[in-house]
Amino acid sequence: MATSHHATTPRLRLLALALLAGLPALGGCRQKMADQPYYRPLEQADFFEDKRASRPIERGTVHRAQYLESDPIATGLTQEEWDRTYEYNVPAKPDQFVALEGEKLKRAVGAPRYDQRKAGEPKVYVEEYPFPITQADLKRGEERYTIYCAVCHGPQGNGQGKIWERGYLIPTSFHTQKVDAKEADVKNPQGLGISRGYSLWGQTIPMDQAPVGYYFEVITKGYGGMPSYSAQIPPDDRWRIIAHVRRLQFTQRAPGGKK
């Protein structure tokens, strides 16, 4: 038997009224986990002994795909250097960071404070690349060097790029001799192609004899008028740039006919 249209209309109206009446109750059905207590950045918290709500990151914590600090590919430092770092640079109390005069060399993490060419001297920087350098890596290094480095250090690595021509600070040459007969004479207290970083620690080391890890640290942290390029150049490309610089140096000191 067919249902009358007049009989269903009151039922629909009652159902609609019931749904409308229940809407406020549905709005209040929130689980307690949706309203968890939280702290704003740098807010004080009584839960922790030091009252800091923003907790310091535990030592050794890394995010996904991040290199460990002791991995040479990320810092250019040797394991020997990191062993010294962990031994001398983790004081029990903050006021113990003040080092005695004789301990400064041990506490200066990554500084070019030793001449690694001498037998028995501690190794601070790695002297080999952390991965094999292929022809493709050299090509990539040349490309990255042209983009980021040549503007100051020049296409030939002699420190006479376009920025220098316009009055900027004199970049270090990677060569101990002029690479171009038209190259301008530049007064350098350390001498042409001598590392300024090593000179600061009383070491006279030509750039073509400085370990590759030292180059990596300078690119990563910057030095003097040179800013850090860690944000612009990923670690692998920094090593490729260094390989290209080594190639530039080799082509200037290779025997005749072998350039």
pLDDT digits (tens, 9 = 90+) for 62-87: 777 778 778 899 999 999 999 888 87
Do 102 and 189 meet the contact criterion of CB atoms below 8 Å apart? no
Contact between 114 and 217 under an 8 Å Cβ cutoff? The reply is no
**For residues 192-221, average pLDDT:** 95
Q: DSSP state, 67?
A: P
Q: What pLDDT is attached to residue 240?
A: 98
> Which comes out higher in pLDDT, residue 17 or 240?
240
pLDDT at 203 over 70: yes
Length of the chain: 259
Residues 104 and 47: their CA atoms lie apart, in Å, by 38
Mean pLDDT over each residue of the chain, to the nearest integer: 83
Half-sphere exposure of residue 193: CA atoms within 13 angstroms, side-chain side: 19
Q: Please tell me the class of the 135-253 domain.
A: mainly alpha
Q: What is the DSSP letter of 32?
A: G
pLDDT at position 5 over 70: no
The pTM (predicted TM-score) of the whole model is 0.72
pLDDT of residue 259: 45
Average pLDDT over residues 44-56: 87
- What secondary structure, in 3-state letters, does 142-204 show? HHHHHHHCHHHHCCCCCCCCHHHHCCCCCCCCCCCCCCCCCCCCCCCCCCCCECHHHHHCCCC
Q: What's the pLDDT band for 156 if we cut at 50, 70, 90? A: very high
Q: Give the start-to-end residue ranges of the domains of the chain.
A: 135-253
- How confident is the model over 185-212, as a mean pLDDT? 90
Q: Which tokens belong to 250?
A: 């080799």
Q: If pLDDT is split at 50, 70 and 90, which confidence band does 258 have?
A: very low
Instruction: Name the pLDDT band for 97 (thresholds 50, 70, 90).
Output: very low
What confidence category does residue 242 fall into, taking pLDDT thresholds of 50, 70 and 90? Answer: very high
Q: Residue 22 contacts by C-beta under 8 Å, 6 or more apart in sequence?
A: none
In this structure, of 17-21, 169-173, 178-182, the range with the lowest mean pLDDT score is 17-21
What is the reported pLDDT for 4?
A: 53
Q: How far is CA 34 from the centre of its chain?
A: 38
pLDDT level of residue 36 (50, 70, 90 thresholds): confident
Give me the pLDDT at residue 197, please. 94
Q: What is the mean pLDDT of residues 140-159?
A: 95
175 Cβ neighbours under 8 A, 6+ residues apart = 156, 157, 158, 192, 193, 207, 208, 248, 249, 252
Give the whole-angstrom CA distance, residue 100 versus residue 117: 27
Do 245 and 215 touch, CB atoms closer than 8 A?
Answer: yes
